[in-house]
Amino acid sequence: MVQKETSQKKSNTGVQKAKRQKAANSTKARQSNVQKQKQTGQSKSTQQVTALGRLAQNSNTKLRRARGTLLKKSNIKNPPSTKNSRVRTSTMEQSSRRISPKSDNTSVNLRKRELSSSRAKGPKRDAGQKHFGAVTCSVCGMLYSASNPEDESQHLLFHNQFISAVRYVGWKKERILGEYPDGKIILVLPDDPKYALRKVEEIREMVDNDLGFQQVETKSPSQTKTFLFISNDKKVVGCLIAEHIQEGFRVIEEATPECSEGEKVMFERQRAWCCSTTPEPALCGISRIWVFSMMRRKGIASRMIECLRNNFIYGSHLSKEEIAFSDPTPDGKLFATHYCGTSQFLVYNFVSGTRSSCQTPDVL
C-alpha cells in the first residue's frame, strides 16, 4: 500500500514538471515571435525612411538644376533663399492682415470728413466754365477774362506773338553794352544786319500791343537806337527805343490829396496830367520803354536808361534833364517820376518829335 502511494506521488510530480516545461516553452516562443515582429517592423520603417530621403534628395537636386538654369538665363547673382522668401511672404501677409482694417477705418473716416465738410460748405455748382474773373497768363503776363471768348482770342494772339518776339537765338556780332548777373544789354543800330532789324521790328510791334499804343513808326528810323535786355535763358525781357529830338515840355505838377501811399499810387494811375507849352531843350527822346511784367521791380528799366545815357552820343554822358519821355502810361509816369526824382520831367510827342499843334496845355 505504501509503495503504491509513493509511485502515484512520483507520477504526479512528473506530470506537473512536464506541464511547467510546456508553459515555459510557450512563453519563450511567444517572446521570440514578438521580438521577430518588432525587428521586422523596424526594418520596414527604416526602409520607408530611406526611400523618403532618396526622394527628397532627388527633388532637391532637380530644384537646384532648374534654379541654376534660370539664373544662367537671367544673369542674377546671389538669389534669395526659399526659406527667407517664405518667411518674408508670411510676414508680409501677417502685416497686411494687421494693417488692412486700420487703412479701411482711416479711409472711412476721411470720407466722412469730406462729406461733412462738403455739407457744411454747401453744394458746388459747375456751369461748365473752368475759370471765373480775371486771369493772368504765367507766360506772356497778359490779364484777361477766361470766360469771355473775345478776351480769350485776344490773349491767344498776343500769347503767340509774345513767344515768337521774346525768343532770342543769339547773333554772331552782338554789341554788348553791359553784362549783369541776370542778363546783358545789347545795342541795335539802323545799319545792323537785316535779321537784327527784323527782330527789333517784331519786338516793337509786340511792345506797342502790350502798351496799348497805335502802330506808329518812329519819326526818323535812321537815327533810332534800340536797347534790348537779354535774360540768361535767352529771352528779350526789356526794350528801350530812343531817338534824337530837339525840345521837350515840362509836366505840370498838380497837388495830390493827403492819403496813404497806396491811395496816392491809385490816384496817379487814374487822373489825367498836363504839360507846359513852353519848350525846353532836350537831346534824347525815349519813345518806348518796356519790361516784361514778370521781370519788373528788378532795375532792368533803370539799367537800360543808364546804358542809353552813356552810349547815345559818342564821348558824352547825358543828364536826366536832357532826356524826354514819350506819352507815358500810368506805370511809365510813376517810373519816370521815381527815376528823375521829380514829377516835373520832360515829355515829347513821339509821333512828330515835338509838341502837338494845340496852344493850350496838352493832355497826354
pLDDT tens for 184-219 read 999 999 999 999 999 999 899 888 887 777 666 666
Quick check: 48 pLDDT over 70?
A: no
Q: Are residues 141 and 187 in the same domain?
A: no
Most confident of 81-85, 160-164, 224-228: 224-228
Q: Are residues 158 and 248 in the same domain?
A: no
Q: Are residues 183 and 136 in the same domain?
A: no
Q: Are residues 220 and 354 in the same domain?
A: yes
Q: Are residues 230 and 345 in the same domain?
A: yes
Q: Are residues 140 and 225 in the same domain?
A: no
- How far is C-alpha 222 from the geometric centre of its chain's CA atoms? 46
Q: Are residues 194 and 286 in the same domain?
A: yes
Q: What is the pLDDT of residues 290-317, one digit of tens each?
A: 998 888 889 999 999 999 999 999 889 9
Query: Can you list the positions of beta strands (E) in the chain?
Result: 134-136, 143-145, 176-180, 183-188, 225-231, 236-244, 247-251, 274-281, 284-291, 323-325, 346-347, 362-363
Confidence at residue 101, expressed as pLDDT on a 0 to 100 scale: 47
Average pLDDT (246-266) is 76
User: Considering the chain, what is the average pLDDT of its residues?
Assistant: 75
* 315 lies in some domain: yes
* 31 lies in some domain: no
Q: What is the pLDDT of residues 116-165, one digit of tens each?
A: 655 545 444 544 555 567 888 877 777 788 778 888 888 888 888 788 88
* 45 lies in some domain: no
Between 275 and 341, whose confidence is greater?
341
Q: Are residues 139 and 237 in the same domain?
A: no
Quick check: 115 pLDDT over 70?
A: no
Quick check: 183 pLDDT over 50?
A: yes
Q: Are residues 299 and 180 in the same domain?
A: yes
* 25 lies in some domain: no
364 neighbors 347 (Cβ within 8 angstroms): yes
* 347 lies in some domain: yes
Last residue of a domain, one of 145, 166, 187: 166
Q: Are residues 139 and 253 in the same domain?
A: no
* 228 lies in some domain: yes
Q: Are residues 195 and 293 in the same domain?
A: yes
* 152 lies in some domain: yes
Confidence of residue 235 (pLDDT cuts 50, 70, 90): very high
Quick check: 103 pLDDT over 50?
A: no
Confidence at residue 105, expressed as pLDDT on a 0 to 100 scale: 57
Confidence of residue 87 (pLDDT cuts 50, 70, 90): very low
Quick check: 67 pLDDT over 50?
A: yes
Between 33 and 83, whose confidence is greater?
33
The 3-state DSSP composition of the chain as helix, strand, coil percent (nearest 5) reads 50, 15, 30
**Domain residues for 160?**
132-166
Quick check: 90 pLDDT over 60?
A: no
Q: Are residues 153 and 230 in the same domain?
A: no
What is the C-alpha separation between 306 and 322, in angstroms, rounded? 13
Last residue of a domain, one of 149, 166, 183: 166
Between 40 and 31, whose confidence is greater?
31
Quick check: 12 pLDDT over 80?
A: no
Q: What is the pLDDT of residues 326-351, one digit of tens each?
A: 877 888 888 998 999 988 899 998 76
Confidence at residue 356, expressed as pLDDT on a 0 to 100 scale: 38
Last residue of a domain, one of 141, 166, 191: 166
The count of structural domains within the chain is 2
Q: Which residues of 300-319 are buried (b: 16+ CB within 10 A; e: fewer)?
A: bbebbbbbbbebbeeeeebe
Average pLDDT (48-54) is 65
Quick check: 253 pLDDT over 70?
A: yes
Vertex 23 angle, CA 22 and 24, to 5°? 90
* 22 lies in some domain: no
CB atoms within 10 A of CB 123: 6
CATH value at residue 341: 3.40.630.30
